Amino acid sequence: MWASAVLLVLLGSFGANALDNGLARTPPMGWLAWERFRCNVNCTADPKNCVSEKLFMEMADRLVEDGYKDAGYEYVNIDDCWMAKQRDANNKLYADPERFPSGIKGLADYIHSKGLKLGIYTAYGNFTCQGYPASGMHLELDAQTFAEWGVDMLKMDGCKQMDRHTMKKGYPQMTKYLNATGRPILFSCSWPDYERGAGIPINYTLVAENCNIWRNYVDIQDSWQSVLSIIDYYAKEQDTLVPVAGPGNFNDPDMLIIGDFSLSVEQAKAQMAMWAILAAPLLMSNDLRTITPEYRDILLNKDVIAISQDNAGIMGKRVLQNDTIEVWTKQLDISTSFGDYASVILNRGVSGMPSNVSIVVREFGVHDLMGFWDIYDVFQDKMHYYVNVDDFYSVMVNPSGVAVLRFYPTRLQFAKTEP
Ligand SMILES: *[C@@H]1O[C@H](CO)[C@@H](O)[C@H](O)[C@H]1NC(C)=O
Ligand SMILES: *[C@@H]1O[C@H](CO)[C@@H](O)[C@H](O)[C@H]1NC(C)=O
Ligand SMILES: *[C@@H]1O[C@H](CO)[C@@H](O)[C@H](O)[C@H]1NC(C)=O
Ligand SMILES: *[C@@H]1O[C@H](CO)[C@@H](O)[C@H](O)[C@H]1NC(C)=O
Ligand SMILES: *[C@@H]1O[C@H](CO)[C@@H](O)[C@H](O)[C@H]1NC(C)=O
């Protein structure tokens, strides 16, 4: 009781200043083009994979027909390179007419007809990262244009903005203009990452007042090394980043690369589990038309998604570490007086054999009332009842893989019948 009350007060006091547009109460889920499809704009050379309305429509179809929408993935997000090379006669942005013959409005109608939401991309500064027209001098007009088209989410990048000190003013201006449209538009800001890159102190209170999600660190690439380097950054900065996360506001370690070229099945499970523990947006960047079932199953794992989408919105922390094993723990469901937890044991070892990891239950950072936990191993689908907090919990964890554990306070009937 005491612990939950204190936590609620802490979250409440931060939440009062958070961006108030009703969105991203849990980490947003969906699909985002960038990591997998980049700025591939030559539809003559590569009609199947070029950045075009057809690509987004096909991904929307897959989201609906292959179970992703039912699992919670709802945003279909365009990234860079969708625009025509100039603004129109009224200074408005418009989509490249050859690649987006229906225009963004037409694409939004299609996406909405599937029960999904559409995200779009711009940049602060005069050009996008790939040199397309961006919103620097036209924040208000562009906010209105996006709202007219029926856009539901906006990612605002920043790479061609030379003076990054102006971002503390420019991003909040965009927040105001988005709000003034009257359309709820989830705002994804790249601002803290650019400040970090330039050595400018980041004010996360200000960021959370103006953004629903925000990038903290470099772009993910298609490699396990990239995934690990991102995890390391969040561990290093966790004392700063954990307090700013909560319903409406999430740190964004960038896209899921599950089902792309590099991650093994074990590594894919590890990314999925870590992103869930971090309360990270789950934005897949992959080809849903060709993904194989073993990767699809990881993305659709209901128990891992439940950890990600827990309504308390708490970001997990690294609680234990040695050279190869890390333990990360996230508190869940603080609305109940007991509280559940989820943990990920991440094995960074490369020794070829699974590691036998043994940890005293208390050291997972789970705070008990009863002294006993029922521990569910998500990927092994196995429940271990009535584990004493002072006992060791042992599990085999594959190299560059994870064990995902969910801790439920032992219910009294188990304490009596299954000692
Ligand atoms: C605009 O901001 C106000 C006050 O923070 C909030 O109540 C309202 O829901 C916001 N509207 C939109 C569309 O974001
Ligand atoms: C697109 O690809 C085709 C076929 O490879 C090539 O002939 C054409 O020059 C390319 N167009 C552009 C604008 O690069
Ligand atoms: C954007 O263009 C305007 C008008 O041409 C110019 O004043 C401004 O300095 C430019 N901003 C950047 C970041 O280049
Ligand atoms: C950070 O932003 C908040 C909210 O706008 C503001 O009250 C506070 O003074 C800022 N902190 C610093 C160090 O500038
Ligand atoms: C790291 O921790 C794990 C789990 O407690 C243990 O199995 C392993 O032996 C440890 N490795 C080292 C080098 O301490």
Selection from 291, 263, 222 nearest residue 402 by Cα: 263
Q: Return d(Cα 320, Cα 330) in angstroms, integer.
A: 13
Q: What is the pLDDT of residue 338?
A: 61
* Predicted confidence band of residue 378 (pLDDT cuts 50, 70, 90): very high
Domain edge (last residue) among 308, 336, 358: 308
Top-confidence residue, 416 or 43: 43
- pTM of the predicted model over 0.75: yes
Total domain count, the chain: 2
Task: Identify the domain boundary among 273, 308, 343.
Answer: 308
Asked if 20 is an active-site residue, the reply is no
What is the DSSP code (8-state) at residue 68? H
Residue 290 CA to ligand 4 center (angstroms) comes to: 47
Q: Are residues 186 and 60 in the same domain?
A: yes
CA distance 122 to 81: 9
Pairing of strands 325-332, 340-347: antiparallel
Q: Would you say residue 415 has pLDDT above 60? A: no
Q: Which residue has the tokens 């699909």?
A: 31
Q: Are 331 and 286 in the same domain?
A: no
Q: Is the CB of 126 under 6 A from ligand 3?
A: yes
| Helix 265-277 / helix 224-236 crossing angle, nearest 10 deg | 20
- Is residue 15 very low, low, confident or very high in pLDDT (cuts 50, 70, 90)? very low
Q: Is 161 in the pocket of ligand 3 (CB under 6 A)?
A: yes
- Full residue range of the structural domain in which residue 402 is found: 317-417
Least confident residue range of 171-175, 316-320, 408-412, 415-419 = 415-419
Mean pLDDT of the region 60-67? 99
CATH number at residue 160: 3.20.20.70
Find the range with the poorest average confidence among 91-105, 295-309, 361-375.
361-375
Q: Chain-wide mean pLDDT for the chain?
A: 93
- Which tokens is 50 given? 């070029």
Span 201-222, mean pLDDT? 98
* CB distance 200 to ligand 4 below 6 Å: no
On whether both 402 and 298 belong to a single domain, the answer is no
pLDDT at 10: 43
10 Å CB burial of residue 90 (0-12, 13-18, 19+) is: exposed
Q: Is the CB of 265 under 6 A from ligand 4?
A: no
Residues 267 and 385 in one domain: no
Question: Does 206 contact ligand 4 (Cβ within 6 A)?
Answer: yes
What average pLDDT does this structure show over 165-181?
97
| Tokens found for residue 214 | 């925000």
**What CATH code is carried by the domain that includes residue 402?**
2.60.40.1180
**What are the pLDDT digits (tens) for 117-158?**
999 999 999 999 999 999 999 999 999 999 999 999 999 999
| Whole-number Å distance between alpha carbons of 122 and 235 | 30
Q: Ligand 5 pocket, 322 CB below 6 A?
A: yes
- The pLDDT assigned to 367 comes to 83
What is the pLDDT at residue 419? Answer: 39
pLDDT, average across residues 229-257: 98
Whether residue 277 is found in the same domain as residue 406: no
**Higher pLDDT pick, 399 / 417:** 399
Residues 215 and 259 placed together within one structural domain of the fold = yes
- What's the 373 CA to ligand 3 centre distance in angstroms? 59
Note whether 20 and 117 are same-domain residues: yes
Distance 282 CA to ligand 4 centre (A): 29
Asked if the model's pLDDT at residue 294 lies above 80, the reply is: yes
On whether both 301 and 323 belong to a single domain, the answer is no
CA distances from 217 to 22, 73, 213, 220, 264 (A): 25, 23, 13, 9, 23
Domain match, 377 and 243 both: no
Is residue 166 very low, low, confident or very high in pLDDT (cuts 50, 70, 90)?
very high
In this structure, are residues 270 and 402 in contact, taking their beta carbons and an 8 Å threshold? yes
Ligand 4 centroid, distance to 165 Cα (angstroms): 14
With a pLDDT cut of 70, the percent of the chain lying above it is: 93
> Ligand 2 mean position to 74 CA, how many Å?
34
For residue 346, which ligand has an atom nearest its CA?
A: 5
Q: In the 8-state DSSP scheme, what is residue 95? A: B
What confidence category does residue 412 fall into, taking pLDDT thresholds of 50, 70 and 90? low
219 is catalytic: yes
- Looking at the fold, whether 97 and 159 belong to one and the same domain comes out as yes
Q: Which of 41-50, 277-286, 370-379 comes out lowest in average pLDDT? A: 370-379
pLDDT tens digit sequence for 339-371: 799 999 999 999 999 999 999 999 999 987 778
Catalytically annotated residue among 80, 142, 152, 157: 157
| Ligand 3 pocket member 125 (CB < 6 A) | yes
Evaluate if residue 8 carries a pLDDT over 60: no
In 3D space, the residue among 149, 156, 96, 86 whose CA is nearest the CA of residue 122 turns out to be: 156
* The domain boundary residue, chosen from 284, 308, 332: 308
Q: Same domain, yes or no, for 273 and 397?
A: no
pLDDT of residue 409: 86
Q: Of the given ranges (247-256, 342-351, 409-418), which has the lowest mean pLDDT?
A: 409-418
If you take atom 4 of ligand 1, which residue's CA is the nearest one?
20
Q: What ligand is nearest to the CA atom of residue 396?
A: 5
Same domain, residue pair 295 and 335: no
Distance (Å, whole) CA 407 – CA 391 = 14
| pLDDT value of position 333 | 82
Average pLDDT over residues 159-164: 86
Which pLDDT value is given to residue 336? 63
